[in-house]
Amino acid sequence: MSGNTVTRPLSASCTPSRAARELDLKRSEFDLAVHLGRIRTMPDEGGGGRRVARAEIERLRSDPGFPEALRASVLAVGTSEGAAVMGVPSARFTRLARLGLVVPVRFYLNRYRAVVWLYLADELKQFATDGTNAFLLTGRTPEVLRSQLDAGVDLRSRNWRGRHLGFLHRQADGPWQRAGVLAGFLDPLQVAAVVEDPYERSHLNRFRPRPPAQGTPGTPAAHLVEKIMTADDPDEIDWLRYDLERTLAEARAEQPAPRPAWKPAPTPPAGPPDRPADTDRPEDTDRPEDTDRPDRPTRGLLTWLRRRNG
């Protein structure tokens, strides 16, 4: 009977969930690996989202140290763990992050709706072992950096946006998709100032990225995530607007935004034909007296009454 068994060939690609299981990764680890370019994905020809080629899974599984090396490359840590990795106090680590010297790779909101930034452990190790950064890890913070901190500088959100924008750009398949990515980091009023055509804005909105899932839309948590997602520095806004204009010009040249098909104005329904003028009909002044109406006395009766009374 074994000779009659039909073996179905393996699919050339699989879903992200299946790929994560085959690579011994948690789904959050898999998503971050894709974000960082550690795992290459491809669009689903059926429009069902991204997929992972079987050859890509085999490539990763054949790497030395799999799966531990792959997991270590996507290990994300918070402030306390990050400070321990770099061998500095948590307060100093936070200052370095606010100055943009270490860049977050992810964030989430805790139960108090406080933002928890996560950093790649590998990047923190590289920063700490680079001799040119030694003066930042010990001793007094340089005056120019302290003045920035005193002025309230905090580049964590902006640096995360820049990193996330790069990831979404790599996933985009064309200029309209790239323009939609850029629009996703701008306030709607800024987008409307750049994209005045309502049909183009409607088409562009199809490709705007969703903020990272953080609660139900419309909740305070969702508003906070939207705020983190939206550019707020003037120079950052200017750069995004310029890039949006340039990318939008490429998109228009490649394929204009769809518009409703033109339809001629409907013809009003035909009414009853105009009644021709009755030229033979006498005017009211020429009408004969209606002698048949009982409430109107005849001319002869009136004459007889006047004579009798006279």
pLDDT tens string, the chain, 310 residues long: the values are: 444 544 444 578 999 999 999 999 999 999 999 999 999 998 887 667 789 999 999 999 999 999 999 999 999 999 999 999 999 999 999 999 999 999 999 999 998 989 999 999 999 999 999 999 999 999 899 999 999 999 999 999 999 999 999 999 988 889 999 999 999 999 999 999 999 999 999 999 999 988 886 677 788 889 999 999 999 999 999 999 999 999 999 999 999 999 887 767 677 776 665 555 555 554 544 444 444 444 454 555 555 555 555 5
Per the listing, tokens 């080629």 go with: 53
ω into residue 211 within 30 of 0, thus cis?
Answer: no
N residues, the chain: 310
Q: Which of 29, 105, 104, 118 is nearest to 69 (CA)?
A: 29
User: Shortest CA distance to 79 belongs to which of 44, 107, 56?
Assistant: 107
Spatial separation of the C-alpha atoms in residues 171 and 178, rounded to whole Å: 9
- Beta partners for 77? 119
Long-range contacts of 81-85 (CB under 8 A, 24+ apart): 81/121, 82/119, 82/121, 82/124, 85/121, 85/124, 85/125, 85/128
